[in-house]
Structure 1
Amino acid sequence: DFVNNRNRLNKPLIRREGVLQEATWPEALDFVADKLKTYVGDSYAMLASSRGTNEDNYIAQKFARTVMNTNNVDVSSNTRPELLNPLQEQLGHPSATNSIWELEQASRFLVVSSNMTEEQNVVAVPIKKALTQGTASLIVIDQRETELTRYAKVWLKPRPGSEVALIGGMIRVIFDESIDDHDFLAESCEDVTEFRNAIWGFDLIQVERVTGVPQSQIRAAAREFAASKPAAILYALETLPRAIREECSRALVNLALVTGNVGKKSAGLFPLLTGANDQGSRDVGCAPDFLPGHRNLTSEQGRQRVAGAWNAQIPPFRGVGALDITSAINDGKVKALQVIGNNPNFTNGELGDFLEAAKSLDFLVVQDAFSSELTEIADVVLPSQTFAERRGTYTNLERRVQLLRPALGVKGDGEADWRTICQIAQRMGASGFDYTEEDPIFDELNNIVRVYGGLSYGRLEAEGLQWPCLAADMVDTPYLYERTFETRKAKLVNMTLADAEYPMDSQYPLLLAHGRVLHQPDVDMDIVELNNKNSINRQETIKVHPDDARTLGISEGDWIEVVAAGSTIEGAANLTGHQPGIVNVTTLFGELISELEANSSSDPLQHISTLPLTPVKVAKPVTQAAAD
């Protein structure tokens, strides 16, 4: 159904006299190549797809850098790059340290701000298995109720923006009670004494003041996490403001090091990326600040290594990434944009009002398999192949490079994205884009991306392999750093206790922590038939902190409404909120399924509402307020 959806694009389209009209491939490619010549430099940007293969996204970033002379290239799902940067800085590689299915043997889990059962369900499976077997325990840091919180032994709900203080408080307890891994710190980490001294600043009285979490709960979480190995930390930081995500990621790396949970099986750190191939995209350099092989763009040596392989010059300045593309368009810095694939971030607010900004572009090219809100405003639309029709490689969250084989013949005139880009490059007079199939692209990127050096399509035919795999006769690496710290020590990064900061809106002075679970046995509900389908009918409960309720004149059981920009939720007030300033609503996954069934999009999953903390205001409905 997905591949044959009625929204499938079968022919190239060019906007003529304000209307998208069918064109031939040569017409469309010539048109794009001629137009892009006008925008060589930083007035151009490329947003590749996290569903694109490594080959697609390697070619995309090579095109941006060598043909368009800009580092304005990223994948549209890369909205939390801060999850990876500290891992590279402190440990060596910007990636998860361990394998997903090893988690079944872990004895402790710390999950930080992640709706994992929806966003990374495969990762949640071994965790839930270990928890239901009684061989492990779970600590959750999150203001929202999610499917995993019902498994948690300790559930901490800090004041938004205070997560770094909370983790620092846990590390302070671990040091105070001497339950850190003394030997690992002495043998494998640098600057331990300096780091210990910095942690003394996390006085638990002050940590409680900043976070709103009682000292007893902070101590319980720290003791539980440090009590047994191996322990794994999994984090998406979905509810954290951008300004503190990198600092929080560093704090979590510190916690893993202090407890000796790096370089061991079933332990480690798992940054929970959102896209199907976010890890591979970073590996092959589809990022505004990193080149293939995780080379920092500011490194002269790194730039020269890649430039030499390409026989081309690479601009030395950081480009515009996904998070900043909307403002760059609005400011007039980016005038031409090439987008590959659709992404929920175009409409869910993660990139601001991206669609509105895109309307002001001088030139918009979209490569996609299906029509969308973005193709409707494009100047040129180039049909792509779906995952079921393409060949190439993906690299998943656990660094496993897997070979994708076509399961179906190509529908219509859809083309592989790498091939489309190469044909545009050739029409612009560029060399180095004369590939005829995927294999030589993979061979080229393996020559540049050292951790892929021993991989080949031949090896991957048998099974997926986890990098680093440096040579053809080398086995892959299920978990990182087993021997690394014998020659190069891990870095502890000093932390400072600071008050919580969270961007607020004076019009919407509270934050909605919207959770979602499979079922709530303590809440009454009915199943009603609507349009020949079963639907859930129940009264929503809205949890409000008693302090906020007093300020707002709300009593237990009052019917209230929670109003955000563009949406409203109504329900009965329950004055058991855990933090002043936070309003909690938990809905059912079944309600989401009903919404998806009613969605006519080619890919309804693109329209699943994520669960960020949302600025809101709370009041009684006008009719009830008047009655009171």
Structure 2
Amino acid sequence: MADEITITIDGQEVTTTPGTMVVQAANDAGIYIPYLCYHPGMKPYGACRMCVVEIEGQRGTPASCTLPVRDGMVVNTKGGDAVQVRNTTLDLLLSEHPHGCLTCHRIDLCGPQDICLRHVDVVDRCVTCPKNERCELKDTTRFHTQELVSPLTYQYRNLQVETKDPFYDRDYNLCIVCARCTRACDELRGDVAIGMTERAGQVLVGTVMGDSLLESGCEFCGACIDVCPVGALTETAYKWERPARVEQSVCAECPVGCTMTYEVNHWERVVRAVPELNAPSNMGQACFKGKFGFEYVNDKRRIRKPLVRRDGELQEASWDEAIAAAAEGLAQRKGSAFALMANPRNTNEELYAAQKFARVAMGSNAVDVASNDRPGIVEGLQDTFGYFAGTMTTWELADSAAVMVVSANLTEEQNVVGVPIKRAVRAGTQQLIVIDSREVELTRYASLWLRPYPGTDPVLLGGLLRCIVDSGLADMEFVNERAEGWDELVACLAPFTLEAVAAETGVPAEQIEQAARIYAGSGPAALLFGGDSSIGGTRRTLWRMGAALAGATGNVGKHGAGVLPLYQGANAQGGFDMGTWAASLPGHHLLDEADARERFGALWGVPVPDERNPGNRSLFARAREGGIKAMVMLGDHVHYEDGTLGDVMGALDALEFLVATSAFPSEITERAHVVFPAEVWAEKTGTYTNIERRVQPLRKVAKNKRIDSRSDLEVLCAVAGAMGAQGFSWNGPAQALDEIAQVVPEYAGISWERLLRERLDIVTTPSDEPQPTQVMYTGNVLTGLQWPVGVSDDGELFVDRFRHGKARLQPVAWHSRPEVDPQFPLMLAHGRVLLEPGRKPNVTVVGKRNRIEREERFVLNPADAAAARLGEGDAASVTTADGAERRGVVVLSDAVPAGVVSLTTLFGELAAEVDSSDRPDPMNHIARLNAASARIAPV
């Protein structure tokens, strides 16, 4: 290639590209240069001086991590001067670092579980170091065959080990001040929770505000832990455990689909999760859920055997007995009296089997996924573009000139999606528009924050679209060539004048104009929708508006532009692809399409019901009214308890027969007539599809042999077989995937064997040479396949044509604000941020853990405060329609729309709450921050 150059390292010719640092060029060629502060993906730093080399024709020993390659360069990594500098550097590092693991005379004799009987200084034992046998400093010293010239003693800092914060511990006695952690927080994550501080004349790492991570703005993503070369930063759980093996799989906590490497110990416990450095879905990043939320896999409270209700009590039974009981009870309640509720952690194969079971074995279309409480989001996309799916990839967002995020709390629900956005905004290459009535983390990065009254998002987008049309900012070349319905769309925008939209939404007209100019005039623009503040029937209109915005500006089908729906749940996209919901059949065929029903009826051997289920919330309402007699529920979900789906337990109490698959006892299993012990995600094999349509292999990580559990796929197939239903005799998920590839056109060409072949072969230095953990684990990275397979190299949909030829721009209607309940005349907009500058929270210790205590602030429009007879600083209570009450003080602000009370809490409060939870799977029960009807009163 024209942009490649050749250099020589230790006599070996290496081909690389201009701008690459020498150390990375060497690593890419499999040549090891010692380093402790460098890490792939971060900027050159040159702090540790371990990577010094000699350059032919150049004086001195430059650091190879800050030295760009040049054509013809000759590098010597083993020259005497370079080696001497490294020796001196290591000697200085070890003079302040416990090094009994290097000097003990029994180091080659001790086994991994041996307890040291000779050392009495506990800070110096190898077995007390959380990075024992996983330490880069130790490995580098051994590799370098360092001969210590300093005394065997060293200066111990005697700093208190910080163990009171959630999820991970900090022991700065072990810190070597490489600054990897602070740079990861800053450069990789866009945060500043930790930085370089001074303590008693020494430079060390510390929190940038206060002493606790809870008050410093930490999002507990774990990036600092993943890059730390020593034991200064380590996970609290399984702190001293070493892995017996590692397994690569996909995280099951959110729809980003992060590829992770899981460390498994000798007892089949998952002890650590490390994000895959080169995975296309997450590029080495994770979130607090994915990094720390896997502990439920190891929990001892698992359901161990099937349970069948006899004489009113659940009793243990054999699998054959439980399957027979389930089959008998369900066979008596077929048709519209049956419903099935799947789980977003189900694999594609399980979701396909679930909808097929409902339609074939039970003759019912009442099937849905627990997380799908906002189907209007993807229905609007399907109306316009033809698919219930987004059009771009996550990491394309780094190249977007503008990004608009509508009603989404990325930090908590789709965390890694926010990483490329934050990086680009901080680099000055992107303008960010946030439309949200709440204050969320991305509002701190926004070039423009629009705060509409909750539920008026569609009106606001209509105003943006009208402004784009009136200002001549529409891409008429794209519209004329690739879209239809333009005239009808423009006609329906007549009511959306700036004045009317501003009055309805509470957003100033000048901000609406500014947002329109940024989105339409900056370059490739991306649109991300969560719809947290949308209400009922406005959701489909919201996405129709969003799709029309993208189409009107030509922001579809090109790099850095497109739309991304922000689902909740790991495999929510798979649910839409498999037809496991109210409106469609597998392959994005609408249930209303008679020819699609006939085709699937012929394929499955039974007629497909044409009765459309109106959605999972109404499904539970039907059960409470007696319209649903029997139900199968696959797993648990936060929506069953947070009111999103109504009174779910009341609905289950009204059922005649309930079958549940679950890993843990719950309120659902207490009501069930048959309970099957379910495998958790780490015990399954199958596939997940993330928000960028990437189908990824989910591989078995560990298996608790003391639990007689099975996957939901096995359970559904066994019960269907016992009922005499045909078409459920797959011999494992690979065969189920083969059927999916036959009936879902978008999955054509995808097979289990091919997914295991689709990988990135990363060249690294030999495994016996020191490496950072993420570098050590990378190598054969499973990349998955984006559907439709082979359409676009960069995963972009609609580069040449839309599914139906042209985009179908949909006419939209004005949605007025919902009527206000006189008892609850305000809308509570509850947001959450990492840090609020100027407000220092009070951190207290409860038990042995840190907690945040601070006075809450209710931010009100002055007109609402006057109506409630409240003034600045007055004590008040806010009560929501569900009876929850909060107390705080009033703050007045014209930035808050009339009719809204804004409340912003800290992410650290949530982190502490999850960390202290005694639930087996607390990450699966974090409630979404939805708008709620409320009233405020003086205290």
TM-score (normalizing by structure 2): 0.64
| 1:252 equivalent in structure 2 | 546
Tell me the distance in 2 between the aligned counterparts of 1:151 and 1:403. Answer: 34
**Shift in alpha-carbon separation, 1:81–1:217, aligned structure 2, 3 A:** same
AA partner of residue 432 (structure 1): G
Tell me the distance in 2 between the aligned counterparts of 1:141 and 1:216. Answer: 15
Q: Report deviation, 1:323.
A: 2.2
| 1:469 equivalent in structure 2 | 789
Q: Report deviation, 1:312.
A: 2.0
Assess if the C-alpha contact under 8 Å between 2:385 and 2:803 holds in 1: no
Q: Report deviation, 1:263.
A: 0.8
Tell me the distance in 2 between the aligned counterparts of 1:193 and 1:149. Answer: 35
| 2:176 equivalent in structure 1 | none
AA partner of residue 431 (structure 1): Q
Secondary structure of the residue aligned to 1:143 is: coil
| 2:629 equivalent in structure 1 | 335
Q: Report deviation, 1:572.
A: 1.0
Count how many residue pairs are aligned between Structure 1 and Structure 2.
617
Tell me how large the CA RMSD over aligned residues is.
1.6
Assess if the C-alpha contact under 8 Å between 1:469 and 1:477 holds in 2: no
Residue 445 of structure 1, aligned match among 737, 740, 747: 740
**Is 2:846 the counterpart of 1:551?**
no
| 1:74 equivalent in structure 2 | 368
Residue 581 of structure 1, aligned match among 891, 894, 899: 899
| 1:532 equivalent in structure 2 | 848
| 2:763 equivalent in structure 1 | none
TM-score (normalizing by structure 1): 0.96
| 2:3 equivalent in structure 1 | none
Secondary structure of the residue aligned to 2:537 is: helix
**Shift in alpha-carbon separation, 1:328–1:476, aligned structure 2, 3 A:** farther
* Deviation sequence 1:405-428 (CA, Å, 0-9, x none): 101124411101111111111111
Tell me the distance in 1 between the aligned counterparts of 2:804 and 2:351. Answer: 34
Matches within 5 A, 1:226-375: 226-319=520-613, 321-375=615-669
Single out whichever of 17-26 and 332-341 deviates more from structure 2: 17-26
Matches within 5 A, 1:430-579: 430-461=725-756, 462=758, 463-469=783-789, 478-485=795-802, 488-498=805-815, 500-502=816-818, 504-564=820-880, 565-576=882-893, 578-579=896-897
Matches within 5 A, 1:375-454: 375-411=669-705, 412-454=707-749
Q: Report deviation, 1:598.
A: 2.3
Secondary structure of the residue aligned to 2:332 is: helix
AA partner of residue 477 (structure 2): D
Secondary structure of the residue aligned to 1:432 is: coil
Secondary structure of the residue aligned to 1:42 is: helix
**Shift in alpha-carbon separation, 1:113–1:487, aligned structure 2, 3 A:** closer
| 1:626 equivalent in structure 2 | none
Assess if the C-alpha contact under 8 Å between 1:468 and 1:477 holds in 2: no
Assess if the C-alpha contact under 8 Å between 1:71 and 1:320 holds in 2: no
Q: Report deviation, 1:276.
A: 0.5
**Is 2:933 the counterpart of 1:615?**
yes
Tell me the distance in 2 between the aligned counterparts of 1:493 and 1:519. Answer: 41
Secondary structure of the residue aligned to 1:541 is: strand
Tell me the distance in 2 between the aligned counterparts of 1:311 and 1:560. Answer: 63
**Shift in alpha-carbon separation, 1:226–1:423, aligned structure 2, 3 A:** same
Tell me the distance in 2 between the aligned counterparts of 1:475 and 1:546. Answer: 52
* Deviation sequence 1:480-510 (CA, Å, 0-9, x none): 0000059822112223445x22254332221
AA partner of residue 928 (structure 2): T
**Is 2:311 the counterpart of 1:40?**
no
Assess if the C-alpha contact under 8 Å between 2:868 and 2:937 holds in 1: yes
* Deviation sequence 1:334-356 (CA, Å, 0-9, x none): 01111001100000111011112
| 2:155 equivalent in structure 1 | none
| 2:262 equivalent in structure 1 | none
Tell me the distance in 2 between the aligned counterparts of 1:164 and 1:475. Answer: 31
Tell me the distance in 2 between the aligned counterparts of 1:589 and 1:429. Answer: 51
* Deviation sequence 1:224-270 (CA, Å, 0-9, x none): 11121210000011111012110111001111111110111111011
AA partner of residue 613 (structure 1): A
Assess if the C-alpha contact under 8 Å between 2:845 and 2:851 holds in 1: yes
AA partner of residue 523 (structure 1): R
**Shift in alpha-carbon separation, 1:552–1:122, aligned structure 2, 3 A:** same
Mark the runs of 5 or more structure 2 residues left unpaired by the alignment.
1-294, 759-782
AA partner of residue 443 (structure 2): T
Tell me the distance in 2 between the aligned counterparts of 1:538 and 1:510. Answer: 24
Tell me the distance in 2 between the aligned counterparts of 1:55 and 1:567. Answer: 40
Tell me the distance in 2 between the aligned counterparts of 1:339 and 1:476. Answer: 39
Secondary structure of the residue aligned to 1:138 is: strand
Single out whichever of 438-447 and 172-181 deviates more from structure 2: 172-181
Secondary structure of the residue aligned to 2:568 is: coil
* Deviation sequence 1:338-390 (CA, Å, 0-9, x none): 10011000001110111122112111111011112211221111011111111
Q: Report deviation, 1:450.
A: 0.4
Larger radius of gyration: 2
Tell me the distance in 2 between the aligned counterparts of 1:561 and 1:297. Answer: 47
Assess if the C-alpha contact under 8 Å between 1:368 and 1:384 holds in 2: yes
Assess if the C-alpha contact under 8 Å between 2:504 and 2:817 holds in 1: no
Assess if the C-alpha contact under 8 Å between 2:386 and 2:803 holds in 1: no
Assess if the C-alpha contact under 8 Å between 2:383 and 2:544 holds in 1: no
* Deviation sequence 1:129-182 (CA, Å, 0-9, x none): 111111001111110000000111111111223222211111122122212112
Secondary structure of the residue aligned to 1:242 is: coil
| 1:600 equivalent in structure 2 | 918
**Shift in alpha-carbon separation, 1:433–1:497, aligned structure 2, 3 A:** closer
Higher relative contact order (CA 8 A, sep 6+): 1
Tell me the distance in 1 between the aligned counterparts of 2:428 and 2:819. Answer: 40
**Shift in alpha-carbon separation, 1:308–1:506, aligned structure 2, 3 A:** same
| 1:625 equivalent in structure 2 | none
Tell me the distance in 1 between the aligned counterparts of 2:387 and 2:872. Answer: 51
AA partner of residue 44 (structure 1): F
Single out whichever of 191-200 and 100-109 deviates more from structure 2: 191-200
AA partner of residue 16 (structure 1): R
Secondary structure of the residue aligned to 1:313 is: coil
Tell me the distance in 2 between the aligned counterparts of 1:303 and 1:477. Answer: 33
Q: Percent identity?
A: 41
Tell me the distance in 1 between the aligned counterparts of 2:925 and 2:678. Answer: 20
* Deviation sequence 1:253-296 (CA, Å, 0-9, x none): 11111111011111101111111101111111111221111111
| 2:53 equivalent in structure 1 | none
AA partner of residue 512 (structure 2): I
Secondary structure of the residue aligned to 2:296 is: coil
Tell me the distance in 2 between the aligned counterparts of 1:126 and 1:418. Answer: 36
Residue 426 of structure 2, aligned match among 125, 128, 132: 132
Residue 154 of structure 1, aligned match among 443, 448, 466: 448
Single out whichever of 446-455 and 318-327 deviates more from structure 2: 318-327
Single out whichever of 363-372 and 583-592 deviates more from structure 2: 363-372
Assess if the C-alpha contact under 8 Å between 1:467 and 1:477 holds in 2: no
AA partner of residue 927 (structure 2): S
Assess if the C-alpha contact under 8 Å between 1:385 and 1:410 holds in 2: no
